[in-house]
Chain A
Amino acid sequence: MTLGIAIKKLTADSPEEQVAALIDQAKRTGRLPGSLLKLLEHSHPVYTNRGTNEAIRIRGYLLASFAHTGLPGRALPYVLEELDSSNNAYLIAGAAIALRGLAHPPAGIAAYLLRAVERLRCADNALSFATYKPHWPMASYTSALAELFKTMQWLKGNAADSLESLRTLYNDKQFSPQVRLEIGKAMNAIEKDPVHATDVCCTTPVIITSGRSVRKKELAKVRFQDQDGNAIGYNEFFCGKPAVAVLFYTRCNNPLRCSLNMARMGHLQQALQAHCLSGKINLAAITYDPAFDNAGRMQAYSKHRQFITDEHNRCLRVEEGTEILWRHLQPAVNYNGSLVNHHATEFWLLNAQGAIEKKFTGTQWDIQLLIKELNASLQQKKSRLSHAWSSFSSSLLSAMLVFFPKCPFCAAAYLSLLGITNLQFYQLKAWLIPIFALLLAVNLFALFRMGRRRMWQLPFYLSLSGAACVLLATFFSLPTAYMGIGLIIAGSLLNGLPKKMLLSLQPKLKLKA
């Protein structure tokens, strides 16, 4: 079995040692099977039913292996996400090592490393990537800070924009002598490199993807409970207005993910108010952990993070249809039993039909960009309405043109039709009957003439049957009259069709020309 297939076959039941052995094999061969990249996805089954530390062990070891196999560009967002928002030293170190597998380091990477340094300066840890699940005490080990600065050394001139920060860090006594040694080496490497990159990027490249939406009919089965205990359906809340949705859970132990996301919902709420958009956009924070996050817990969590809830802004826990909602949103999350073991930071922009317009992955929320997207979505909603009206009106106009009387006979037919159908509303109908009967006869005559000319007598026969019904109605019931009127109308309308259309219809109607 090839390495790629073996990795592909990994499941939730695969022992973690087996996963590590396959990663080791990839490291030894220096090959990067596509299935190894798939393991970076948070929702990959290999992370299911494992504790958070077990998931971190696999993920951190996997990330570090990219230094041996090479790190393709499409894996970079996963690496940057860990550098930007993880609070675990092993994951951050793994991500720092992974960067060294890049063929061409993009400028601006150093900013991520520096942000990770700031988070770890009081939370560094003793680590080893030499083996999976190492046994302590170890003769030699590394630390996340040391690995971050080693990557700075590897970046050389590409980290030129960080030189001043490195000088400040070098003089900080909070760093151990070993780490300061690595900082010194990084400074040397940058200074000696003749190429100094100047393109500075300091925010996570937000990945924007269009989602695959589940059908509205199916989404109707998704039922929520909000922070006040009210029941509401997916379509009730998400249809009618564009919406922004985030996922969170109150037991998340990374303050840079769920907690920050909820606070950002509060910021977004304020920004919407400032742009006069509040009430036009719905905001929803949906919990990953509906079994634990009850209404009261959600209410307290959102309140403490200044996300003010009301009918347009809600915290939601799924009561029914979790599987449908997850299929709809496709969140990057995994579970150990009912508890989340790891997840990414992402949010969704939903259109007024509740379908996914865009999915943003990354930790940095650019509120202005989001407002722009929301405005575009609102404009789209308006233009959709006007498009619907314009297509309706153009169809109406076309229909009117099609049936517009194009000759005196047609005009007479329409007039007679209008006259006879309103007969019952005239009080003096006794003396009007002969006049309308005459007009009806003119109509039939006109249709007959037209039919002969076009060699198609169906309109005439229809109108003749209709006229017979109308006359019979004087002896029978009113419904017979209506049926007659209907037949006359159908005959007249068919007669009004242009010749070209008639010729195209003839084969379908199996009519002989």
Chain B
Amino acid sequence: MNDEMEFLQTLRDQLQAGEKRIEASAQRFIAASNPEEIKTALQQVPAIRDQQEAAKASGLLKDDGQDIDVRILSMQKLVSFLGEDRSFIETCLSLISNTSNDPRLRQAAFKVLQTLSFSSRVFASVRVEFIAVLRALLDDPQAPLRAMAAEELAKIKDEYVQRRLLAGLKSSEKKSVNQIVPRDKAIQLLGYDIHAEHYPIVRAILQESTATESEKVEAIHVLASDTSSANLLANMMLDKTQENEVRMTSASALRAVQPEQFIKLAKNVILDETEEPGVRAVCINGMMHHLNSDAVVNDPEFHEGMSKLRKVRLLPELRKASKKYMEEVEKRNKQ
């Protein structure tokens, strides 16, 4: 009992000491005049808590001649206090829009707005302006800002960003002026919307001889929701000239899009001793997702092949996967 009381008292003391430290930092922030002092004080303050502090921080944020770190810190510390203030959100929007601002400040303002987009009730009133700013950012000279804007718009399935990303992918030159983000990123962002019109172009990219591994992997991720691409994915999965990562991703994608076809092909891959162990392991793991399927549980010939596999020397991950698979199948059969 005494221990508990003592523990609680210690906590109280620590809290009070912390409060005092914060109070002292806030005082220092109010009193500070040179950038270094302000920066140190702001770093020690968890958040702006009253009008006086807010007024000073807002002034620092809007001061174009102020140190960038000070402006960024001021903005970050103001989020919880002014999150419901429309004018603060508008200030952040104007900071992003102004291309003459330091890129770090613009990116920080972007992140603040991302936070506010789900934490602030008032944010809904600036949503339209925010989207307009994001669309304008797609042509920003700063590549990170372009990518951030494209990602934010892709999340809401914005038709303009989809249109621009597709235009970038369709352009014959890999480094086209139409490109907002690299091709692999563009494919990934288009994949946020399964209803977008990107499947034909993504299929074409996957079959390009010049496509990079990451482009192919992203393309396969996207095609995992396109039932019309099942045969293409199956070919990729079985094509031994492809990189392992591409083949393994294809196997997972085919499992999602056409489980029956995957099970049929995966059995051959698993029993093929010349196959890559990584691809075989992915196939075994994939089969484990379909233990309700008759094709997986009731195939004595395949299970016999699998039991033979266990006896041969295999890579640890493959041995582990096949052992687990057989255990699961036996368990199901007993049920």
Contact = CB atoms under 8 A, between A and B. Distances in A.
Sort chain A's interface into a size bin.
35 or more
B227 A52 contact: no
B271 to A, nearest CB: 25
A176 B125 contact: yes
A53 B125 contact: no
B122 A296 contact: no
Contact of A253 (B128, B158, B159, B195): B195
Interface stretch (A30-38, A104-112, A121-129): A121-129
Contacts of B143: none
Contacts of B32: none
Given A136-B138, A292-B257, A336-B195, A174 B124 contact: yes
Interface string A174-213: 1111010000000000000000000000000000000000
Interface in B259-276: 259
B12 interface: no
Contacts of B195: 51-53, 253, 336, 339-341
Interface of B: 86, 121-122, 124-129, 131-132, 135-136, 138, 157-160, 162-163, 193-199, 225-228, 257, 259, 292
The 5 nearest A-B residue pairs measured at CB = A51-B197, A52-B195, A136-B135, A137-B136, A291-B227
A217 B309 CA distance: 52
A415 to B, nearest CB: 70
Given A56-B159, A174-B122, A291-B227, A126 B128 contact: yes
Interface of A: 50-54, 56-57, 90, 121-126, 133, 136-138, 141, 143, 173-177, 179, 251, 253, 289, 291-292, 294, 296, 336-341
B199 A337 contact: yes
Given A124-B124, A126-B135, A175-B125, A339 B194 contact: yes
A446 to B, nearest CB: 75
A51 B128 contact: no
Contacts of A291: 227-228
B194 A124 contact: no
Contacts of B135: 126, 136-137
A143 B128 contact: yes
A269 B155 CA distance: 36
A457 to B, nearest CB: 75
A291 B136 CA distance: 39
B122 A339 contact: no
Contact of A174 (B121, B158, B193, B194): B121
Nearest to B194: A251
Contacts of A289: 227
A136 B197 contact: no
A54 B198 CA distance: 11
Given A51-B196, A52-B193, 11 more contacts: A53-B163, A53-B195, A53-B197, A54-B197, A126-B128, A137-B135, A141-B132, A173-B86, A179-B125, A291-B228, A339-B195
Contact of B128 (A56, A124, A339): A124
Contacts of B158: 125
B196 A53 contact: yes
Contacts of B199: 336-337
B127 A122 contact: yes
A137 B292 CA distance: 53
A338 B127 contact: no
A136 B136 contact: yes
B128 to A, nearest CB: 5
Contacts of B138: 136
Nearest to A136: B135
Q: Which of B136, B197, B225, B228 has the most CB of A within 10 A?
A: B197
A330 B227 CA distance: 23
A294 B128 contact: no
A338 B200 CA distance: 12
29 contacts: A50-B197, A51-B162, A51-B197, A52-B193, A53-B162, A53-B197, A57-B159, A121-B124, A122-B127, A123-B127, A124-B127, A126-B129, A126-B131, A126-B132, A126-B135, A136-B136, A138-B132, A143-B128, A173-B122, A251-B225, A253-B194, A253-B195, A296-B292, A336-B195, A336-B197, A336-B199, A337-B199, A337-B226, A340-B195
